[in-house]
A = this chain, B = another copy of it.
Amino acid sequence: MTTAAPSPTADLVQLGREPIAADALIRHVRQAHDGAVVTFDGCVRNHSHGRATLYLEYESYESMAIEKMKEIAASLHTLFAIDGVAIAHRLGRLEIGETSVFIAVSAPHRKAAFDACRHAIDTLKKTVPIWKKEFFEDGAVWADGELPPLPAATPAAKPAS
């Protein structure tokens, strides 16, 4: 008996104010034909640049952000030999130790799972329109970020949606 080609797992992408259910994301990507699941859990640190952080607030251009997150998930399948992808980002006020972003990637072999998970968080931090405000005892600041790369000038205009 040889194994049938497994059906691909649908990508799961979430953006919301509720705590991220990491277990559900892992269960979503973890299939019987996978030999490896790599996860990245981005959590709220109690310090930033040597100062004690009290809490964070994330805001987002939500309609665009969810599309960019879906694009990242889709791109992983073309770049890496992976199976399932789940990406979740939380918005609103987050306390120390809470998860702001969680990514799970499954694959038959570990190298693709590691490469894809890392690529996903690196790309998310560069291209998804989400902003973090850090609250300290003596005030709040918008975190330094990365300027997304712009596309080259396009001749054809895209109609309003």
A6 vs chain B, min Cβ distance (A): 9
Q: Is the CB of A2 within 8 A of B137?
A: no
Q: Is the CB of B41 within 8 A of A45?
A: no
Q: Is the CB of B33 within 8 A of A2?
A: no
A158 within 8 A of B: no
Q: Is the CB of B50 within 8 A of A40?
A: no
Number of copies: 2
A148 within 8 A of B: no
Q: Is the CB of A37 within 8 A of B45?
A: no
* Contact residue among B35, B50, B97, B117 (Cβ-Cβ distance under 8 Å from A43): B35
Instruction: Spell out A's residues near B (CB within 8 Å).
Output: 1-3, 23, 26, 30, 32-47, 50-52, 96-97, 108, 110, 113-114, 117-118, 121, 137
